[in-house]
Structure 1
Amino acid sequence: MALHYPNGRKFVQERTKSNTQQNKKISYSNRGKTLEDDLNETNEYYLANGVAVIHKKPTPVQIVDVHYPARSAAVIKEAYFKQASTTDYNGVYKGKYIDFEAKETQSTTSFPLKNFHEHQIEHMKQVVKQGGIAFVIIRFSVTDDIYLMESEKLNYFWERMLNGGRKSITHEEIGSSSIKLTIGFQPRIDYIKGIDSILSKLV
């Protein structure tokens, strides 16, 4: 089946030697898992233990070509990823609506703001305006440094870029303006501790 991005570019699952070498640089504690894998495992743990109900939003796909080799069978030949309208994850914790985006980068020095979209920034602003909690989880994949940054802090760096400033956030800036998270066993990434820190400031 052919999958395409919203801009029409074909989706290709790359399996290159360089990728394999890069994966080897990731700490053994993470065993090469993606941020999405770890967050999904974390959310399953939260749900199973009655901590929170948070899920990944499904990626919308537009099907454009379907073949019917038999009446009881359909084969999708071509489809396009639709651009997500909001963020990656949402749910409820302690009666609060939770909404966040998860991103990772291979860079060790900065995080490119081009990884976010204007509609995602605006969506998180609206969530906060309605009393919800919005944030981003950023992972530096090579060093396995993981941070939870409140959307209000991200807004500062976004506005700085729009006003002609740098188009990325330095690792140091993220470290000083975010909550540091760690990889564990159960849960894998206990970001609820970061949310608790946010909630404590609202009391």
Structure 2
Amino acid sequence: MAFHYPNGRRFISKPLEQAARPVKKMNFSNRGMTLEDDINASNEYYLANGTAVVHKKPTPVQIVNVHYPKRSAAVIKEAYFKQASTTDYNGVYRGRHLDFEAKETQNPSSFPLKNFHTHQIEHMKGILKQGAISFIILRFTATEEIYLMKAENLISFWERMSEGGRKSITKAEVEACSQKIPLGFQPRIDYIKVIEQLYAHFFSSGI
């Protein structure tokens, strides 16, 4: 099945890109889960325990070609994303709107800014203007390190690139302006605990 972006460019899913790669040996810290899998599992835990309500945003698609190999079965052969996506997740925690993006890289020393798009940066700016909480969760897959970075910091790095600066965020910069999230069991990625630390002023007022 072929998917296309609004500009007509063909979409290649990550699973297909990764199909030819050798399977990474799993260990205690990496059980073969992608960052998205881990966050989804964490969100289910938060929901079940009444901690927060956070969901992955659905991506609307338009189906343009369907094949019917059997009368009782249909196979989608071609589809288009109706619009450019914004961020991956949104929800509510203690009366505050949460909006964030999750990205991972195999680069052990820096995080490429090409993983983000202009419309996502603009979306985060709009979220911040409304007084909500916006951030990104980054994973360095080589070392299984996960960080939570405020959207304000990502925007600063993006603007640096736009002005002719480097096209990535160094690992040292990520460590300096982000909070590391240790891998756990339940939840797997406890980003809510980090939010409590980084955004304490949002909750101390009781508003």
- TM-score normalised by the chain length of structure 2: 0.88
Q: C-alpha distance in 2, partners of 1:30/1:61?
A: 32
**Paired residue for 1:19, among 17, 22, 26?**
22
Which residue matches 1:8? 9
- TM-score normalised by the chain length of structure 1: 0.89
Q: C-alpha distance in 2, partners of 1:19/1:3?
A: 25
Task: Note the 1:1-203 alignment, pairs <5 A.
Answer: 1-6=1-6, 7-9=8-10, 11=12, 13-14=16-17, 15-16=19-20, 18-20=21-23, 23-24=24-25, 27-68=27-68, 73-82=73-82, 84-202=84-202, 203=204
Q: C-alpha distance in 1, partners of 2:32/2:73?
A: 36
Structure 2 counterpart of 1:44, one-letter code: E
Q: CA RMSD in A?
A: 2.0
Contact 1:106–1:140 under 8 Å retained in 2: yes
Q: 1:29 to 1:122 in 2, by over 3 A?
A: same
Q: C-alpha distance in 1, partners of 2:5/2:28?
A: 32
Shift, 1:74, TM fit: 3.6
Residues matched between the structures, number: 199
Q: C-alpha distance in 2, partners of 1:111/1:69?
A: 44
- Structure 1 gaps of 5+ residues are none
Shift, 1:165, TM fit: 0.5
Contact 2:2–2:10 under 8 Å retained in 1: no
Q: C-alpha distance in 2, partners of 1:109/1:72?
A: 51
Structure 2 counterpart of 1:177, one-letter code: C
Shift, 1:53, TM fit: 0.1
**Partner secondary structure for residue 85 of structure 2:** coil
Contact 1:56–1:89 under 8 Å retained in 2: yes
1:155-180 C-alpha deviation (Å, 9 max, x unpaired): 11011101110000001100010011
1:117-162 C-alpha deviation (Å, 9 max, x unpaired): 1111111111111111000000000101100000001111011101
- Structure 2 gaps of 5+ residues are none
Q: C-alpha distance in 2, partners of 1:83/1:193?
A: 33
Shift, 1:73, TM fit: 4.8
Structure 1 counterpart of 2:186, one-letter code: Q
Shift, 1:28, TM fit: 2.9
Q: C-alpha distance in 1, partners of 2:141/2:191?
A: 17
Range moving further from structure 2, 189-198 or 58-67? 58-67
Q: 1:137 to 1:10 in 2, by over 3 A?
A: closer
List structure 1 runs of 4+ shifted beyond 6 angstroms.
none
State, as a whole percentage, how many aligned pairs show the same letter: 65
